[in-house]
Structure 1
Amino acid sequence: MAVDVCVLGTGLTESLVAAAFARFGRRLLHLDASSAYGGCWRSLSLAEFVHWAGGSTNFETPVSKVSGGDFRSLPPEAWKAIHRRCTKAPLGAEIFRPRQEHDFEEEPETPLQDEALASGEIALRLAPHVQYGCFVDRSFEWDPFDKLSDVELCKEKRSLLKSPTSFSLDIVPRLLFGRSDSVDVLVESGVARYLEFQGLKSARVLTPEGLFAVPLTKSEIFQDAHLSKPEKRTLMRFITSIQPFVGSLSFQSAAQLGVDQVRKVKGPTELDSSVLGVDLQEPWHRFLEKQQLSQRLQEFITYSICLWDWSPPGSSSKSTSYPWPELSCGEALRRLGSFVSSLGMYGRGTSMPLLYPMYGVAEIAQGFTRMSALHRGTYALRTRPTHLLAKKDEHQGWQMTGVVTHRGEVIRASTVIGSCDHITQDGAFEQGSDSTACRRATVLLDRPLLGEDGVNLCVVPPSSFAPPLQNVVQVLQLDWSTGTCPRGYYVHHLSQAWIGGAPDGAFVDIDKVLESLLARCEEATCLFRCRYIHKPRPIQRWGTEDSPMRDCSAAGSLAVVADPSAVPQLVVSDEVDEARQIFLACPAAAGAHADDFLRKPEHVAEEERGGVMEELELFNEQMQETKQADTEKLCAGEPQ
């Protein structure tokens, strides 16, 4: 089989690149060793999630306790019905063990035949496929706070696991800014038609005094009962001073906006920030101090609006051997602009500065796979690569020539793109033990911890506890309206960024925040808790510096896609930019321009232009009718 591009892995970035090449008219083959789409961006059912995290889906509860006594004393029809739920134990055993199928049986590998190689071609052996390789130290606990009896826990597990599609749990939860490159690509490419989103309802901060919603508009600031009058005046003065850089629908009147609201408001990177008269390299916390903002307001802005992942110097009890990155004015204004310019972009008021994809972030990747398939891209799951083929050219050096699958199939391709799970040279030693990581926890409760239903975000500054936390903690709450869990349950994702190795007690801060939120909602029950460390791997997947894979990567015929970023913890980051850069650097896209990345089909663009003209003509007609009606009224009011 011969194609132009072979993509290995169906994560978000890989799916973006595949869709771009398919739309560009290239022959595309998209493979994944897994049995489902998504890769490290996948959203799992509850049974899959428990299995992935190392937990048990067995009920393992004595039948005598479930039935209220020794089941042998029940009528035969009753205890036979109970036994039918058991799949392993013989008749009379007192253990529930429901069968759960998670993994498919791996096919044996067919050896590569020498005659399959062309003259001068070499086969580079790949290490065995490792699924979800950037997530380590996984653990899972049912009822971690021992609030349920054995019988109650058995009933809860049976209720939760009975429907395989009732949960869709993200391994890497992500939000999208309403005004961002990611949303623009979704809309421009048409993939947004396959998706639905829920908007963020509130941004909150957990302080020693309580859980407070962050005011985001003028009316919310003036009506906030927790801010003092001096704080309100200072905050409004600060918002006014940065208004030239962070335009927002929420801070402008209808008269200012006119008809085309979205195009009237400038984005966060469209203006020269020098109009503010500030040093963009100055530390952000010093800039805020000069604005005479209180410590509480500084934390509100830095953590809830800028969504900064690191505490400033001297604000936590962290070891000085791991200094956190410092937030500069330039980066803070960019983040502030992204958040504020998204207010009111979709929906009313402040309801949707951030968007969450229905059924999980994996839906975005699947949307691009659908688009690729519409442009004749070919997909094959349960197909793992075992070798990369390369050949040395006299003028261009080493170049990719194909991929070999575990079935011995040889796929000829001049460009190979793959995830870290799929592309690792056999025997390569992974570096990067001191890279940025993210400690994550996913918990399921029967009550919302953030005060209301829907998509809610909470940040916990280090100063919220004594002694201070090692770093800021973020909490994302989801409910049934997002399609991630059944009605009556609430999924909470807690995360904390970290640099360096994982010391003992890596989840102390996350556990402390969870216990504090549970203490404010005493009636809530934590049904399970899963903890793991998200640690992206380096994209240099070859063993030595003289490896042909390294030369192929430098030439663009081989591209390794980065793992989902650990920071930002909860916001889609640079995946679109990464996909665009890979697309433009590959030989298969020779002659392409930046506008060719996921370029809109001409017939779609023509339809949109026609629609705009129709709307403009209708607007002009309405204006003429209004003007004529006003003229008639004036004439009718003149004296006879």
Structure 2
Amino acid sequence: MAAEDLPSEFDVVILGTGLAESVVAAACSRVGQRVLHLDRRSYYAANWASFTFNGLLSWIQQHQEESLPEEVQDWSGLLEEGEELIYLSNSDPASIRNLQVFCYTSEEDEEEEAVSPGPSETTEEEAVKETSETESADSKDEEGNHQAVHTQGEEPEADQPCPSAAPSQSQPTRKKISYAQLVKEGRRFNIDLVSKLMYSRGSLVDLLIKSNVSRYAEFKNVTRILTYRHGNVEQVPCSRADVFASRQLSVVEKRKLMRFLTSCVEEMEEHQAYSGRPYLEFLRNQQLGDNLQHLLLHSIAMVTEDTPTEEGLASTRHFLRCLGRYGNTPFLFPVYGLGEIPQCFCRMCAVFGGIYCLRHSLLCLLLDMSSNRCKAVIDSRGHRISCSHVVLEDGYVLANRKRLATPPRFVSRAVLITDSSVLPSDSEQQVSVVTVPPIAAGCPVVRMVELSPSTMTCVPGTHLVHLTCQSVGSAYEDLSPVVTRMFHTPESPDRGSRPSVLWCLYFNMADGWGVEPEGHDLPSNVFLCSGPDAALGHDHAVRQAESIFQKILPEEDFCPPAPNPEDIIYDGDNSSSSTAGGLEEPEEERQEEPEEEHQEEKQLLEEASSPAEE
């Protein structure tokens, strides 16, 4: 809708289209609230967004430009008696910092040997040079080229055409991807600003199924969990079959691992004795060798050495519960990137009457001083809009409204485009997650997600790699040592058989976990949503959205199922007896019998109780 045609009254006004804000918008609209959803940006999903390669270059350029001081306008003429203005910020420069771009591939197309000398490096300015000649960041969102409105939870059909992976090194020659090709094929990339995965029994998947929003997207299984140890990348056995097929574990290690995982399924008195003590200490006392301790700590529980035992065991149990629901690992990834998920909830909001305006913002809130509630907002066109509740992305709140709290935390991010996989295989469908332990004292644990072209996030002949860690220094300082070890760059001591980095981006992003919703001096009916956090899953954002919704509408159901189009009955249409309340669960859930819900754990129990084979 055009901004000048906006109604002057809504129930809920939401500023920012991140995941939490989008879930709140969908939930409110679904139960009949009049929702206005705005974003000052030209694209959806805020810091949760996915960009084409060319769109990412534009995003980089925007964040490298020095922002001009905001011009504060006087809107006191719109005040009524007993009202006060609360001004908002129209930019959030602190959420992204320390951007560094490197291009290690050639500028123009050229034929090269399969094993070529080290690629040339260009400066950051050269890497972003062509941005102004490429498409803008919102081209993907506004033109709807993603078209991800299909089925939920399954991989593409076997006969569906999928982009091929990079050819093996046994081939004598191949065409090396140049920077010009990356720009030319830029629309075929979907590059996430955040790197997360969806636990198959996590809160986000449950919400997608419950609300029926899952029908707006497609998902792929994460096919491999890998580990990095002693300079080698190896596959981690997840299921019972994987454990006994593993070549990295001895027969004794296999049985010890099965017995330990079996013992983790239920809480035991022995576990409580280690409460507050490090999980690594607990693992050592279980007579597990260094190899199994490494796998359990870093690749299954995915925690650090000083994580408390109760938290490590909870993470291990969650990993086991998620196995087997949709595939051989606990994780799913949305085709076309994580930026699809906020947009899916925005679609649901729009279906039930929500109104959207991009490149549109709020300048200030109008406070009713007698009730300490926000009664209206003023948008970027100077229009006064009455409302009952306001939901804000936390970056819009000025510093003078923030109470003194702990220093903000940051997440270090790196995005790489590489020419092959860190662990080549015959399959073209691999989606991998790797946890890299600290490579030296004081270094952070790094999580790496590698996406193949089958996820529709990169072009054939490339892989898209995301690295994430809690910030210690700048993103380059935190992550470049890992990139240098696991990939080939000009800084690498030797080439070996590692993938070459064609292009990479480093940046720091504000960690949404540390944002305190109550740590701001705002009216009682104004609620804040934080940005992405450093965790692998989406639990923080989903909990935040549900909490805000319950404060706004405590008597309403959070995201009840949306009816399928074929289930809707129109006035005078008696051809169908289906109703919106009679929706069935997704097919994947219907096929799963209740008694098989913990099938993986039962298999572990059977194996652990069988006669020893050592």
TM range (shorter): 0.7 to 0.9
Q: Does 1:241 align with 2:209?
A: no
SS in 2 for 1:361: coil
| TM-score using structure 2 length | 0.73
Return the offset for 1:430. Answer: 8.9
Task: Indicate which of 355, 360, 367 corresponds to 2:344.
Answer: 367
Q: Does 1:460 align with 2:436?
A: yes
Q: Which residue of 1 aligns with 2:368?
A: 391
Q: Which residue of 2 aligns with 1:38?
A: 45
Q: Which residue of 1 aligns with 2:164?
A: none
Confirm or deny: 8 A CA contact 1:9 1:418 kept in the other structure.
yes
Return the offset for 1:357. Answer: 0.8
Task: Indicate which of 129, 132, 135 corresponds to 2:91.
Answer: 129
Distance in 2 between residues matched to 1:12 and 1:230, nearest whole Å: 45
Q: Which residue of 2 aligns with 1:13?
A: 20
- Go from structure 1 to structure 2 and tell me whether the alpha carbon gap of 1:274 and 1:196 turns closer, same or farther (over 3 Å shift): farther
- Go from structure 1 to structure 2 and tell me whether the alpha carbon gap of 1:444 and 1:503 turns closer, same or farther (over 3 Å shift): closer
Task: Indicate which of 537, 557, 573 corresponds to 2:539.
Answer: 573
Return the offset for 1:383. Answer: 0.5
Distance in 1 between residues matched to 2:209 and 2:17, nearest whole Å: 21
Q: Could you tell me which amino acid in structure 1 is paired with residue 361 of structure 2? A: R
Q: Which residue of 2 aligns with 1:336?
A: 316
Q: Which residue of 1 aligns with 2:414?
A: 441
Return the offset for 1:355. Answer: 0.5
For residues 407-446 of structure 1, the C-alpha deviation after alignment (integer angstroms, 9 at most, x for no partner) is: 101111121101123x222656796674443221111011
Confirm or deny: 8 A CA contact 2:212 2:562 kept in the other structure.
no
Return the offset for 1:498. Answer: 3.6
- Go from structure 1 to structure 2 and tell me whether the alpha carbon gap of 1:170 and 1:419 turns closer, same or farther (over 3 Å shift): same
Q: Which residue of 2 aligns with 1:524?
A: 499
Identify which range, 446-455 or 512-521, moves more after superposition. Answer: 512-521
Distance in 1 between residues matched to 2:348 and 2:279, nearest whole Å: 42
Return the offset for 1:574. Answer: 1.4
Identify which range, 153-162 or 449-458, moves more after superposition. Answer: 153-162
Q: Which residue of 1 aligns with 2:550?
A: 584
- Go from structure 1 to structure 2 and tell me whether the alpha carbon gap of 1:137 and 1:337 turns closer, same or farther (over 3 Å shift): same
Return the offset for 1:532. Answer: 1.1
Confirm or deny: 8 A CA contact 1:28 1:377 kept in the other structure.
yes
Return the offset for 1:604. Answer: 3.5
Distance in 1 between residues matched to 2:187 and 2:352, nearest whole Å: 29
Return the offset for 1:7. Answer: 0.3
SS in 2 for 1:359: coil
Distance in 1 between residues matched to 2:62 and 2:461, nearest whole Å: 23
- Go from structure 1 to structure 2 and tell me whether the alpha carbon gap of 1:17 and 1:513 turns closer, same or farther (over 3 Å shift): farther
Q: Which residue of 1 aligns with 2:529?
A: 561
Distance in 2 between residues matched to 1:433 and 1:281, nearest whole Å: 24
SS in 2 for 1:418: strand
- Go from structure 1 to structure 2 and tell me whether the alpha carbon gap of 1:191 and 1:601 turns closer, same or farther (over 3 Å shift): closer
Confirm or deny: 8 A CA contact 1:306 1:339 kept in the other structure.
yes
Could you tell me which runs of 5 or more consecutive residues in structure 2 were left unpaired when the two chains were aligned: 1-7, 106-116, 127-173, 564-578, 593-614
Distance in 2 between residues matched to 1:211 and 1:436, nearest whole Å: 30
- Go from structure 1 to structure 2 and tell me whether the alpha carbon gap of 1:445 and 1:388 turns closer, same or farther (over 3 Å shift): same
Return the offset for 1:277. Answer: 5.9
Q: Does 1:473 align with 2:441?
A: no
Q: Could you tell me which amino acid in structure 1 is paired with residue 539 of structure 2? A: S
Q: Does 1:28 align with 2:23?
A: no
- Go from structure 1 to structure 2 and tell me whether the alpha carbon gap of 1:479 and 1:333 turns closer, same or farther (over 3 Å shift): same
Q: Does 1:214 align with 2:236?
A: yes
- Go from structure 1 to structure 2 and tell me whether the alpha carbon gap of 1:292 and 1:26 turns closer, same or farther (over 3 Å shift): same
Number of residue pairs matched? Answer: 499
For residues 505-563 of structure 1, the C-alpha deviation after alignment (integer angstroms, 9 at most, x for no partner) is: 34453344444798676373311111111222664699xx9xxx6151xx3x0111111
Q: Which residue of 2 aligns with 1:404?
A: 378
Q: Which residue of 1 aligns with 2:191?
A: 169
Distance in 1 between residues matched to 2:274 and 2:495, nearest whole Å: 42
Q: Does 1:353 align with 2:305?
A: no
SS in 2 for 1:360: coil
Q: Could you tell me which amino acid in structure 2 is paired with residue 600 of structure 1? A: P
Distance in 1 between residues matched to 2:468 and 2:586, nearest whole Å: 46
Confirm or deny: 8 A CA contact 2:487 2:499 kept in the other structure.
no
Q: Could you tell me which amino acid in structure 1 is paired with residue 362 of structure 2? A: P
Q: Does 1:376 align with 2:344?
A: no
How much is the aligned-residue C-alpha RMSD, in angstroms? 3.6
Distance in 1 between residues matched to 2:90 and 2:46, nearest whole Å: 15
- Go from structure 1 to structure 2 and tell me whether the alpha carbon gap of 1:433 and 1:490 turns closer, same or farther (over 3 Å shift): farther
**% identical equivalent positions:** 26
Report the structure number with the largest CA radius of gyration: 1
1:174-189 aligned within 5 A = 174-189=196-211
Q: Could you tell me which amino acid in structure 2 is paired with residue 333 of structure 1? A: L
Identify which range, 163-172 or 27-36, moves more after superposition. Answer: 163-172
Identify which range, 329-338 or 5-14, moves more after superposition. Answer: 329-338
Q: Which residue of 1 aligns with 2:298?
A: 303
Return the offset for 1:384. Answer: 1.5
Q: Which residue of 2 aligns with 1:263?
A: none
Identify which range, 449-458 or 373-382, moves more after superposition. Answer: 449-458
Distance in 2 between residues matched to 1:599 and 1:171, nearest whole Å: 29
For residues 194-225 of structure 1, the C-alpha deviation after alignment (integer angstroms, 9 at most, x for no partner) is: 11111111111111162211111222222222
Confirm or deny: 8 A CA contact 1:125 1:426 kept in the other structure.
no
- Go from structure 1 to structure 2 and tell me whether the alpha carbon gap of 1:134 and 1:432 turns closer, same or farther (over 3 Å shift): farther
- Go from structure 1 to structure 2 and tell me whether the alpha carbon gap of 1:209 and 1:33 turns closer, same or farther (over 3 Å shift): closer
Q: Which residue of 1 aligns with 2:109?
A: none
Task: Indicate which of 292, 303, 308 corresponds to 2:287.
Answer: 292
Distance in 2 between residues matched to 1:411 and 1:153, nearest whole Å: 57
Confirm or deny: 8 A CA contact 2:413 2:475 kept in the other structure.
no
Confirm or deny: 8 A CA contact 1:19 1:369 kept in the other structure.
yes
- Go from structure 1 to structure 2 and tell me whether the alpha carbon gap of 1:194 and 1:428 turns closer, same or farther (over 3 Å shift): same
For residues 614-635 of structure 1, the C-alpha deviation after alignment (integer angstroms, 9 at most, x for no partner) is: 999xxxxxxxxxxxxxxxxxxx
Task: Indicate which of 580, 584, 602 corresponds to 1:608.
Answer: 584
Return the offset for 1:572. Answer: 2.2
Q: Which residue of 1 aligns with 2:509?
A: 534
Confirm or deny: 8 A CA contact 1:109 1:408 kept in the other structure.
no
1:619-634 aligned within 5 A = none
Task: Indicate which of 579, 588, 597 corresponds to 2:558.
Answer: 597
- Go from structure 1 to structure 2 and tell me whether the alpha carbon gap of 1:219 and 1:17 turns closer, same or farther (over 3 Å shift): same
Q: Which residue of 2 aligns with 1:69?
A: none
Q: Could you tell me which amino acid in structure 2 is paired with residue 124 of structure 1? A: I
Q: Which residue of 2 aligns with 1:195?
A: 217
Confirm or deny: 8 A CA contact 1:390 1:399 kept in the other structure.
yes
Return the offset for 1:488. Answer: 1.4
Confirm or deny: 8 A CA contact 2:177 2:461 kept in the other structure.
no
Confirm or deny: 8 A CA contact 1:129 1:384 kept in the other structure.
no
Confirm or deny: 8 A CA contact 1:425 1:541 kept in the other structure.
no
For residues 326-368 of structure 1, the C-alpha deviation after alignment (integer angstroms, 9 at most, x for no partner) is: 3122211221122211111014xx1x41011111111010000
Q: Which residue of 1 aligns with 2:610?
A: none
